[in-house]
C-alpha cells in the first residue's frame, strides 16, 4: 500500500507521485499523465516553467471523466516561476494563471520554484492564495538549509514541503534533518538522479534489489521513501511507471539503508544553484509574456 504523509498545513499527501519535467510536447504529456493516473499515481508534479500545465489539466479531466479517479483523490502540485516572484501580487496572479491552465479551482500544493527573485514577497502571495482557498498547501523548492531557515524564521505559515534534489548520490541528510525540525516534508526531485551515475546498473543498488526481486531504480526510490522523503519519479514509459510505483511491498534493512547512503558524493552533478551563471539564467528565463 502506498503510504501517505500528513502535511503541517493539514492535508494528506501521497508519499509517491509522478513528475512531468521535460515533457514539453503537449500531446505526449497529456497521454503519459493519463497513463500515470491509470497506473495508480495520484500525485502529479508540474510547474509553470514546465509549460505543460494545460496538458496535465486535460489528462486529469479525462481520467476523472473516465471514472478512473476523482479530484478529491488526486494531489496536484504546481510551482510559481521566478519571473513571477517579484511582488505578492505577481505571485498571487501566477497561482491564478496556473489554475486556469490546469482547469482547476484549487491546487493541492503550490511551491515557489527557486529561492530567487523577491521570494519573501512571493511567499506572501502564495500564503494569500492558501488563505483564499486556491491551494490546500504551500511550500518551496530548492531552498537549501540557510535560505529555508531564514524563510521559516520570518514567515507566518511554515512551508509544508521543500522539494530538492535527493538521491543516493546526493543524500543531503543534514538538510533533511533541518526540514524535519520545522515539520517540513522533504520531497525528492531527480529521485533517479535523472539517470546519471549509472544509477540503473549501480552494483550496490542492483545487488540489494536481487534479494527482493526489485530493480536498482526501485531500490533507490524505496531508500528515499523509507527515510521519510516523498518521491516524484518521471518516466514516459508505462512499464517504468509501473516499476517505479511497485515499491510498497518490501522494506530495506538498516544495513542496506546505510550502504545506499554511503554512495553520497556530497554535491549535485545535475545543477549548481550557487553558480552565478545558473542564477542569471534562471532570473532571465521567461515562461510567459
| Contact residues for ligand NAP, defined by CB under 6 A | 19-21, 45, 113, 141-142, 163, 189-195, 200, 217, 232-237, 240, 243-244
Q: Given the DSSP bridges, would you call strands 43-45 and 75-80 parallel, antiparallel or unpaired?
A: parallel
SS3 162: strand
Nine-digit cell at 182? 520545522
- Closer CB to ligand NAP, residue 8 or residue 268? 268
50 noted as active-site residue: yes
- Closer CB to ligand NAP, residue 143 or residue 255? 143
Provide the minimum distance between the beta carbon of 33 and ligand NAP in the complex, in angstroms, as a whole number: 11
Residue nearest to ligand NAP according to CB distances in the complex: 19
- Closer CB to ligand NAP, residue 118 or residue 194? 194
- Closer CB to ligand NAP, residue 22 or residue 132? 22
Write out the DSSP string of 103-142: T-S-BSEEEESSS-SSHHHHHHHHHHHHHTTSBS-EEEES
CA torsion, ordered 36, 40, 42, 47, to nearest 10 deg? -20
- Mark residue 275 as left, alpha or beta (left: phi above 0; alpha: psi -120 to 50; beta: remaining): beta
Provide the minimum distance between the beta carbon of 8 and ligand NAP in the complex, in angstroms, as a whole number: 19
Q: How many CB atoms lie within 10 A of CB 215?
A: 20
Provide the minimum distance between the beta carbon of 98 and ligand NAP in the complex, in angstroms, as a whole number: 14
Q: Which of 50, 92, 119, 130 is catalytic?
A: 50
The catalytic residue positions are: 50
Amino acid at each position: 500500500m502506498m503510504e501517505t504523509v500528513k502535511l503541517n498545513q493539514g492535508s494528506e499527501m501521497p508519499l509517491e507521485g509522478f513528475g512531468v519535467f521535460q515533457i514539453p510536447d503537449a500531446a505526449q504529456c497529456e497521454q503519459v499523465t493519463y497513463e500515470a493516473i491509470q497506473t495508480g499515481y495520484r500525485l502529479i508534479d508540474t510547474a509553470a516553467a514546465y509549460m505543460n500545465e494545460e496538458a496535465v489539466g486535460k489528462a486529469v479531466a479525462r481520467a476523472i471523466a473516465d471514472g478512473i479517479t476523482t479530484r478529491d483523490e488526486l494531489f496536484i502540485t504546481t510551482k510559481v516561476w521566478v519571473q513571477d516572484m517579484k511582488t505578492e501580487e505577481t505571485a498571487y496572479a501566477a497561482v491564478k494563471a496556473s489554475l486556469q491552465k490546469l482547469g482547476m479551482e484549487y491546487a493541492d500544493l503550490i511551491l515557489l520554484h527557486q529561492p530567487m527573485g523577491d521570494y519573501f514577497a512571493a511567499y506572501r502571495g502564495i500564503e494569500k492564495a492558501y488563505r483564499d482557498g486556491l491551494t490546500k498547501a504551500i511550500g518551496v523548492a530548492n531552498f537549501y538549509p540557510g535560505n529555508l531557515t531564514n524563510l521559516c524564521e520570518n514567515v507566518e505559515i511554515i512551508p509544508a514541503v521543500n522539494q530538492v534534489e535527493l538521491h543516493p548520490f546526493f543524500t543531503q541528510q543534514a538538510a533533511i534533518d533541518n526540514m524535519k525540525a520545522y515539520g517540513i516534508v522533504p520531497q525528492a526531485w531527480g529521485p533517479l538522479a535523472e539517470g546519471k551515475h549509472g544509477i540503473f546498473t549501480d552494483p550496490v543498488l542492483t545487488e540489494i534489489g536481487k534479494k527482493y526481486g526489485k530493480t536498482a531504480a526501485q531500490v533507490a526510490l524505496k531508500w528515499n521513501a523509507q527515510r521519510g522523503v516523498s518521491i516524484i519519479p518521471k518516466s514516459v514509459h508505462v512499464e517504468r511507471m509501473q516499476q517505479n510505483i511497485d515499491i510498497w511491498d518490501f522494506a530495506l534493512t538498516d544495513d542496506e539503508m546505510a550502504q545506499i547512503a554511503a554512495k553520497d558524493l556530497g554535491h549535485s552533478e545535475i545543477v549548481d544553484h550557487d553558480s552565478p551563471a545558473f542564477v542569471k539564467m534562471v532570473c532571465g528565463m521567461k515562461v510567459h509574456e
